[in-house]
Amino acid sequence: MDFSHIPVLHEQVIEHLQIRPGGIYVDGTVGGGGHSSEILRRLEDGLLVGIDQDDAALAAAEKRLSAISDRFVLAKGNFVHMDAILDENGIDRVDGILLDIGVSSHQFDTPERGFSYRFDGPLDMRMDGDGDIRAYDIVNRYSADEITDILLRYGEERWAKRIAEFIVSERNIQPIDTTFRLVEIIKKAIPAKVRRDGGHPAKKSFQALRIAVNRELEVLEEAIPMMVDRLKPKGRLAIITFHSLEDRIVKNTFKYLHQDCICPPRQPICTCNKKREIRIVTRKPVVADDAELATNNRAHSAKLRVAEKL
């Protein structure tokens, strides 16, 4: 299957990154090279660093970017390891960083990756195929309480406890090894009236398992301060998120990095020594316009937030 992925908020990303022809830019989730290809076109003597933990994405990006220019390097890894990747390439500070968080269309549409409840495939969900934990391991080995916690925390699933109980009961009969078998169990756990009134009953559970498998929220929270530190003055960090949990982390982390002092209000002298690190460029998240929504369904939930290094 070809790696196909329509980049969301494409024009807005390019506009907010304010690309300099001689600058160094990092796409921490390069995917098939959708956003990166436009960044690369605008570089004359600069450099693009593309990072992704998906081998298929890197292969697709290599092919796409090579047709434009040779002023890029690609590295396999999670964006949380950007520090090490930049060091390995002899790069100190960069002019801009982009993250497009979430699962690509290619990953969703490849049944053997196990991301989607729409296709039958193995319960995997690893963005990095070499990762240690699969969705299969969580579903078949974690306790009911641990599964409940994952479904509540990462999926905000109202029926988390009941779904976890049904999972444990069913796996005692036979291991749960495919996406469709898990979907059937979730459907059994959620009352029929609720299933009829809402969207797909497995949507929140699959989201929660994917986030847990890939440690998506922990990695994002850990990575933002590090990425800001690697920016040059006036360098920009642009992050696209696709659900409220991610967006909340970006919003709150930007807010913290924008603060000049975090001492208690009544304390007469600052002892925290915290200094403001960024200017928040987008006070409200940038969302897709009607034209993009009409052509790219994935854009409906996309939110772009941008910060500039002081």
Residue 77 is assigned to a ligand binding site: no
Lowest mean pLDDT among 93-102, 234-243, 262-271, 298-307: 262-271
- The closest alpha carbon to 260, from 246, 280, 276, belongs to 276
Residue 200 is assigned to a ligand binding site: no
In degrees rounded to 5, what are phi and psi of residue 241?
-120, 165
CATH superfamily of 10-105+216-309: Vaccinia Virus protein VP39 (3.40.50.150)
Residue 10 is assigned to a ligand binding site: no
Share of the chain above pLDDT 70, in %: 98
> What mean pLDDT comes out for the span 33-57?
96
Residue 90 scores a pLDDT above 50 = yes
CA distance 310 to 307: 9
Band the pLDDT of 4: cuts 50, 70, 90.
low
Band the pLDDT of 100: cuts 50, 70, 90.
very high
> What mean pLDDT comes out for the span 21-44?
96
Residue 259 is assigned to a ligand binding site: no
Residue 132 is assigned to a ligand binding site: no
Residue 92 is assigned to a ligand binding site: no
Band the pLDDT of 2: cuts 50, 70, 90.
low
What are the tens digits of pLDDT across the range 229-275?
A: 999 999 999 999 999 999 999 999 999 999 998 898 888 899 999 99
> What mean pLDDT comes out for the span 173-195?
95
Residue 52 is assigned to a ligand binding site: yes
Q: Are 171 and 144 in contact (CB under 8 A)?
A: no
Mean of the per-residue pLDDT values for the chain?
94
Domain boundaries, the chain: 10-105+216-309, 128-214
Domain 128-214 sits in CATH at 1.10.150.170
> What mean pLDDT comes out for the span 108-124?
94
pLDDT reported for residue 1? 43
Q: Are 271 and 261 in contact (CB under 8 A)?
A: no
Q: Are 34 and 98 in contact (CB under 8 A)?
A: no
3-state secondary structure of 75: strand
pLDDT reported for residue 3? 59
Distance of CA 32 to the CA centre of its chain: 15
3-state secondary structure of 304: strand
